[in-house]
A and B are shown apart, each in its own frame.
Chain A
Amino acid sequence: MTTIDPQQVQRLAKLARLDLSDDERARYAGQLDTILRYVEQLAQVDTSDCDPLAHPLPLTDVLRGDVPAPGLDQQDALANAPARHQGFFKVPTVLDQTGGA
Chain B
Amino acid sequence: MLEIDGLQVEPVIGLEIHVHLRTRTKMWCGCLLAYGAEPNTHVCPVCLGLPGALPVANAEAVALAIRMGIALNCRIAEFSKWDRKSYYYPDLPKNYQISQYDLPLCADGYLEFPFGDAIRKIRITRAHLEEDAGKNIHDIPGLTAVDLNRAGTPLLEIVTEPDLAGAEETREFALQLHRLVRYLGVSDANMQLGQMRFEPNINVRIHADGRVHATPIVEVKNLNSFRSVHGAIDYEIRRQVAAWREDGQVARPGNKANRGWDDNREVTVPQREKEEANDYRYFPDPDLVPVCPDAAQVAAWRLATPELPIPRTDRFISEYKLAPREAPALVDCKATADLLDAAGEFPCDKALLGKHFLSFWSRLANERETTIAGLGVPPRSFSELADLVRDKVINATAAAQIAEEIVARIDGQLGGTGRPGDSDCQRAIPPIDRPEWAPRELADQLGLVQSQDADEIAAWVAAAFEANQKAVGDALANPRKRKAARGFLLGAVMKLSGGKADPRLVGEQIDAELSRRAD
Contact A101 B155 (CB under 8 A): yes
Which residue in B31, B45, B276, B290 is a CB contact (below 8 Å) of A60?
B290
The residue that A67 contacts in the complex, of B30, B44, B92, B284, with Cβ under 8 A, is B30
Q: Could you say which residues of chain B place their CB within 8 Å of the CB of A90? A: 143-146
B residues less than 8 Å from A68 (CB atoms) = 24-25, 30-32
Q: In the complex, what distance in Å separates the CA atom of A56 from the CA atom of B284?
A: 11
Pair count A-B, CB < 8 A:
164
Q: How far is the CA of A101 from the CA of B292 in the complex (A)?
A: 25
Cβ B43 vs Cβ A65 within 8 A = no
A71 vs B508: C-alpha distance when bound (angstroms):
73
Residue of B nearest to A15 (CB): B279
Q: Which chain B residue lies CB-closest to A14?
A: B276
A63 x B31 contact (CB < 8 A): no
Q: Are A63 and B62 also in contact (CB < 8 A) when A74-B38, A99-B91 are?
A: yes
Instruction: Tell me the minimal C-beta distance from A89 to chain B in angstroms.
Output: 4
Asked if A13 lies at the interface with its beta carbon under 8 angstroms from chain B, I say: no
From residue A83, how far is it (CB to closest CB) to chain B in Å?
Answer: 8
Alpha-carbon separation in the docked complex, A77 to B130 (Å): 23
A63–B136 touching, CB < 8 Å: no
Return chain B residues, CB-CB under 8 Å to A64. Answer: 30, 56-59
Annotate A63-98 by CB proximity to B: 1 below 8 A, 0 otherwise.
Answer: 111111111111001100000011111111111111
Q: For window 7-61 of chain A, which residues contact chain B by CB distance below 8 Å? A: 11, 14-15, 17, 54-57, 59-61
Q: Does A62 contact B (CB under 8 A)?
A: yes
Q: Is B72 among interface residues, defined by CB-CB distance under 8 A?
A: no
Contacts of A63 in B (CB 8 A): 56-59, 62, 291
Chain B contacts of A78 at CB under 8 A?
40
Q: State how many residues of chain B have any CB contact under 8 Å with chain A.
A: 71
> Closest residue of chain A to B285, judged by CB?
A55
How would residues 259 to 294 of chain B score, 1 for a CB under 8 Å from any chain A CB and 0 otherwise? 010000000000110101001010010101111100
Contact flags B427-461 to A (C-beta < 8 A → 1, else 0): 00000000000000000000000000000000000
B81 lies within 8 A of chain A by Cβ: yes
Do A94 and B144 have beta carbons less than 8 Å apart? yes
**B81 A54 Cβ-Cβ under 8 A:** yes
With A60-B290, A101-B131 as given contacts, are A88 and B137 in contact (CB-CB < 8 Å)?
A: yes
**Residue among A61, A70, A74, A89 making CB contact with B292, cutoff 8 Å:** A61
CB distance A61 to B58 under 8 Å?
Answer: no
A71-B31, A72-B45 are contacts. A100–B61 as well, Cβ < 8 Å?
A: no
**9 further A-B pairs in the complex, CB-CB below 8 A; given A85-B145, A99-B91, A101-B131:** A14-B276, A15-B281, A63-B291, A65-B60, A69-B30, A74-B40, A97-B138, A99-B135, A101-B18
Interface residues of A (CB under 8 A from B): 11, 14-15, 17, 54-57, 59-74, 77-78, 85-101
